[in-house]
């Protein structure tokens, strides 16, 4: 439990999923679904962190 | 800027994680050293990211973006000329003395190397400075959230201070460091999309280069004379003032950052901490400075974005938040604001954990109660955590009420800090330097800094004694103040040292070059040795400077 990669991985995985729930939100100057892109990237980052932590233990 | 439920959810989630880390780490804290120095048990990838994050406060993020908008890519000198070479130096040359001396703080190193009065001078000024700078950044955060979100100043200050208090009180330095790593990733992942979106909208790097005057997209091309660039600095003061005195003074002697490296679990890890940190440090300008540059290009483009005006010019400090409002939809906006909150917290926790260590070991144990059981110092450390945060809050309100006082205080702090690196350089590499020399050198250096400020004028600042020289900008003035302070401290320390009795060599083992065994660990693979790592950092740094020359 003291492996820091677990909370970091979990945090970004959850934030990633949260962002993917609002893929159609747009800001004045963005045309692309940035929430979706950022959400997927964060989910992948969180997943890699969790996988690294799991592989060690 | 209006927030939706999802933005609040992300912010709340972050708070939950930060507090949870504090609660989990609490179980590890048994002694005062666990609490104040993390028991020297933290792995190197964690210390190196914390080394960066402790410095990456909200003011740094907002301020670097503002400087990017105001000065352009020359702002990157703070990283590519300033911070990174200093980080190479401390990792390769200075860490063996800090870590090897078993000192628990930078002032304690001064006590071991020189004497008590030099330590107290450093510890007392450092303690006051950390409290004030955390107060000032708290004030900046409160004002920022008031401006962009209409949040109540008192509420946002107290809420963020309360959360920092809980996790630093519970888990001490370990908890602060662990959270700094989470904060580091959040800052990077939260601001990188802004940089990408803003630069893409402005037509990529080519678009920036064609839309802006060339001085905005180069680092070295326009430093031949001060009149060529908006910073108003020329190459010598830039290299000597920023690249040498100020950067080495901060990255190599400021306990706030050095403490992170000293928490590492071995000498080798302590030396690698700043070197590993140098890699992400080199990339951070692309995340924090580039959006500021893009903001100016976008302002010229009539796409519906412009920097808000202020006093006849532009309000550069709003570059980051106005870009976020234009480019981040709700969701990502929550991430961006959480990153801002995270950068503030990492800066504040850094200050608080450095303050409580210096207070407990250097001031309290050194002068108030020397031989108490360790549990007493653990208690004092926790009390100092609360006291430090309470004083920071007071300083934040002081800053809100009397802005001028804070400006004067920050000026005085810069005078005190300017000569420091000369003292450490002589202390670590010249065994003949003495405590009397170091102490008088520091006082003389500070006096020289004040005198330089009092005798020169720049943008209406300084010249309170007489004006014998005019600088083209306050930036140039600051660099020259640093250069004079450093030189005077260096010369005075040598002169006084030569006329006073040195410490016997038997007391200097592990503290000075020539009397310390520098670890060489040939058994380690090359990528774990400071020398080769520093070489790679140096090559990468040179390439960056050439590409963006």
User: Are B293 and B216 contacting, i.e. CB atoms less than 8 angstroms apart?
Assistant: yes
Q: What are phi and psi of B314, to 5 degrees?
A: -115, 150
Contact B197 A25 (CB under 8 A): no
Residues B123-151, mean pLDDT to the nearest whole number: 89
Counting residues of chain B whose pLDDT is more than 90, the rounded percentage is 58
Token pair for B185: 């990733």
- Residue of A25, A39, A46, A53 to mutate, testing the B interface (most B Cβ within 10 Å of its Cβ): A25
- Residue of A4, A20, A50 to mutate, testing the B interface (most B Cβ within 10 Å of its Cβ): A4
In tens, the pLDDT along B407-423 reads 788 888 889 988 999 99
Pick from A3, A1, A2, A8: nearest CA to A49: A8
Which residues of chain A make contact with B333, given a CB cutoff of 8 A?
27
* CA within 13 Å, CB half, B63: 12
User: Are B330 and A26 contacting, i.e. CB atoms less than 8 angstroms apart?
Assistant: no
Give me the pLDDT at residue B140, please: 85
Pick from B317, B231, B264: nearest CA to B91: B264
User: Are B56 and B284 contacting, i.e. CB atoms less than 8 angstroms apart?
Assistant: yes
Q: How many CB pairs under 8 A join A and B?
A: 84
Residues B52-66, mean pLDDT to the nearest whole number: 87
CA B513, B517, B521 angle in degrees (round to 5)?
A: 125
Q: What are phi and psi of B331, to 5 degrees?
A: 110, -80
Q: Distance from A28 to chain B by nearest Cα, in Å?
A: 5
Which residues of chain A make contact with B28, given a CB cutoff of 8 A?
2
Number of H helices, E strands in chain A: 2, 0
> What one-character-per-residue DSSP string does B310-356 give?
ETTEE-GGGHHHHHHHHHPPTTHHHHHHHHHHHHHHHHHHHHHHHHH
Give me the pLDDT at residue A2, please: 65
Q: What are phi and psi of B525, to 5 degrees?
A: -65, 155
Distances (CA, A) of B310 to B61, B100, B110, B170, B321: 20, 51, 45, 43, 15
Average per-residue pLDDT for chain B = 90
> How far, in Å, CA of B37 to CA of B25, rounded?
14
User: Is the residue at B301 inside a domain?
Assistant: yes
pLDDT for residue B244 is more than 60: yes
- Beta-carbon contacts of B174 under 8 Å, excluding residues fewer than 6 positions away, are B25, B28, B29, B34, B38, B39, B41, B42, B263
Which residue carries 């959040």 as its tokens?
Answer: B186
Which residues of chain A make contact with B187, given a CB cutoff of 8 A?
none
Report the residue of chain B nearest A5, measured CA to CA.
Answer: B182
Which residue carries 């091309």 as its tokens?
Answer: B221
> How far, in Å, CA of B483 to CA of B239, rounded?
10
Contact B335 A12 (CB under 8 A): no
Which residues of chain B make contact with A4, given a CB cutoff of 8 A?
46, 178, 181-182
Pick from B283, B248, B286: nearest CA to B537: B283
In tens, the pLDDT along B448-503 reads 999 999 999 988 888 888 889 999 888 899 999 999 999 999 999 999 999 999 98
User: Is the residue at B433 inside a domain?
Assistant: no
Number of domains in chain B: 1
pLDDT for residue B60 is more than 90: no
Which residues of chain A make contact with B197, given a CB cutoff of 8 A?
29-30, 34
- Residue of A1, A3, A8 to mutate, testing the B interface (most B Cβ within 10 Å of its Cβ): A8
Pick from B255, B273, B251: nearest CA to B264: B273
pTM of the model: 0.92
Give me the pLDDT at residue A57, please: 66
Which residues of chain B make contact with A11, given a CB cutoff of 8 A?
13-14, 17, 182
Report the residue of chain B nearest A26, measured CA to CA.
Answer: B329
Q: Is B462 helix (H, G, I), strand (E, B) or coil?
A: strand
In tens, the pLDDT along B247-295 reads 999 999 999 999 999 999 988 899 999 999 999 999 999 999 999 999 9
Domain boundaries, position B225 = 5-21+33-401+519-547
User: Is the residue at B439 inside a domain?
Assistant: no
* CA within 13 Å, CB half, B425: 21
* CA within 13 Å, CB half, B305: 28
Domain CATH code at residue B177: 1.20.1730.10
Counting residues of chain B whose pLDDT is more than 70, the rounded percentage is 100
> How far, in Å, CA of B48 to CA of B82, rounded?
18
- Beta-carbon contacts of B430 under 8 Å, excluding residues fewer than 6 positions away, are B494, B497, B512, B513
pLDDT for residue B181 is more than 90: yes
Contact A45 B326 (CB under 8 A): no
Give all strands of the β-sheet with B469-470 in edge-to-edge order.
B461-462, B456-458, B469-470
Which residues of chain B make contact with A42, given a CB cutoff of 8 A?
189
Which residues of chain A make contact with B304, given a CB cutoff of 8 A?
28-29
Report how far apart the first and last C-alpha atoms of chain B are (Å, whole number): 37
User: Is the residue at B488 inside a domain?
Assistant: no
User: Are B416 and B121 contacting, i.e. CB atoms less than 8 angstroms apart?
Assistant: no
Number of H helices, E strands in chain B: 24, 5
Indicate the residue of A22, A29, A37 with minimum beta-carbon distance to B327: A29
Contact B17 A4 (CB under 8 A): no
> How far, in Å, CA of B164 to CA of B176, rounded?
9
Which residue carries 């955590």 as its tokens?
Answer: B385
- Beta-carbon contacts of B314 under 8 Å, excluding residues fewer than 6 positions away, are B69, B70, B299, B307, B308
Give me the pLDDT at residue B245, please: 93
> SS3 sequence, B418-452?
CCHHHHHHHHHHCCCCCHHHHHHHHHHHHHHHHHH
Q: Give the residue ranges of chain A where pLDDT is below 50.
A: 1
Q: How many residues does chain A have?
A: 57
Q: Which residues pair with B313 in a beta bridge?
A: B310
Tell me B373's DSSP state: -
> How far, in Å, CA of B530 to CA of B272, rounded?
6
In tens, the pLDDT along B369-396 reads 888 899 999 999 999 999 999 999 999 8
Q: Using a CB–CB cutoff of 8 Å, tell me whether B424 touches chain A.
A: no
- Residue of B332, B337, B339 to mutate, testing the A interface (most A Cβ within 10 Å of its Cβ): B332
Where do the structural domains in chain A lie, given as residue ranges?
5-23+32-56
Give me the pLDDT at residue A1, please: 41
């Amino acid at each position: 439990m003291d492996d820091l990669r677990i909370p970091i991985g979990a945090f970004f995985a959850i934030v990633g999923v949260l962002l993917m729930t609002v893929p159609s939100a747009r800001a004045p100057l963005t045309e692309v679904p940035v929430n979706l892109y950022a959400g997927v990237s964060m989910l992948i980052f969180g997943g890699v962190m969790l996988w690294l932590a799991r592989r060690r233990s | 800027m209006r927030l939706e439920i999802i933005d609040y959810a992300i912010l709340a989630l972050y708070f939950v994680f930060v507090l949870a880390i504090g609660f989990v780490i609490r179980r590890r804290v048994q002694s005062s050293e666990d609490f104040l120095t993390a028991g020297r048990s933290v792995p190197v990838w964690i210390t190196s990211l914390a080394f960066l994050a402790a410095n990456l406060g909200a003011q740094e993020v907002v301020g670097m973006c503002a400087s990017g908008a105001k000065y352009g890519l020359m702002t990157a000198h703070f990283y590519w000329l300033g911070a990174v070479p200093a980080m190479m130096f401390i990792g390769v040359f200075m860490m063996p003395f800090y870590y090897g001396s078993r000192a628990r703080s930078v002032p304690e190193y001064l006590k071991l190397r020189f004497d008590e009065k030099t330590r107290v001078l450093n510890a007392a000024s450092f303690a006051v400075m950390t409290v004030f700078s955390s107060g000032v950044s708290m004030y900046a955060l409160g004002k920022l959230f008031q401006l962009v979100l209409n949040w109540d100043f008192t509420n946002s200050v107290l809420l963020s201070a309360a959360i920092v208090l809980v996790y630093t009180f519970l888990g001490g330095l370990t908890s602060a460091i662990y959270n700094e790593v989470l904060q580091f990733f959040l800052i990077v992942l939260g601001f990188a999309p802004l940089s990408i979106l803003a630069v893409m909208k402005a037509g990529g790097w080519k678009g920036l280069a064609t839309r802006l005057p060339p001085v905005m997209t180069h680092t070295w091309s326009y430093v031949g004379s001060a009149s060529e660039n908006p910073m108003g600095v020329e190459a010598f003061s830039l290299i000597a003032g920023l690249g040498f005195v100020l950067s080495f003074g901060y990255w190599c002697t400021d306990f706030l950052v050095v403490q992170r490296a000293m928490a590492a679990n071995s000498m080798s890890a302590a030396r690698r901490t700043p070197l590993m940190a140098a890699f992400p440090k080199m990339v951070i300008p692309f995340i924090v400075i580039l959006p500021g540059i893009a903001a100016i290009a976008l302002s010229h483009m009539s796409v519906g974005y412009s920097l808000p005006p202020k006093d006849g010019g532009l309000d550069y400090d709003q570059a980051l938040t106005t870009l976020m409002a234009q480019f981040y939809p709700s969701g990502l906006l929550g991430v961006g604001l959480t990153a801002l909150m995270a950068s503030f917290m990492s800066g504040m926790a850094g200050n608080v954990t450095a303050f409580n260590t210096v207070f407990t070991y250097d001031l309290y144990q050194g002068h108030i109660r020397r031989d108490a059981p360790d549990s007493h110092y653990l208690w004092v450390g926790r009390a100092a955590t609360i006291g430090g945060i309470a004083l920071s809050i007071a300083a934040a309100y002081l800053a809100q009420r009397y802005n001028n006082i804070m400006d004067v205080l920050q000026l005085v702090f810069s005078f005190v800090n300017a000569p420091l690196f000369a003292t450490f350089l002589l202390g670590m590499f010249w065994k003949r330097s003495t405590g009397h020399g170091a102490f008088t050198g520091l006082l003389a250096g500070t006096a020289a800094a004040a005198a330089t400020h009092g005798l020169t004028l720049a943008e209406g600042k300084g010249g309170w004694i007489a004006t014998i020289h005019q600088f083209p900008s306050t930036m140039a003035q600051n660099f020259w103040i640093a250069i004079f302070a450093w030189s005077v401290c260096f010369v005075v320390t040598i002169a006084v040292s030569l006329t006073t009795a040195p410490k016997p060599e038997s007391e200097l083992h592990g503290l000075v070059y020539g009397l310390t065994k520098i670890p060489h660990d040939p058994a380690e693979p090359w990528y774990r040795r400071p020398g080769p790592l520093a070489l790679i950092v140096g090559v990468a740094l040179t390439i960056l400077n050439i590409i963006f020359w």
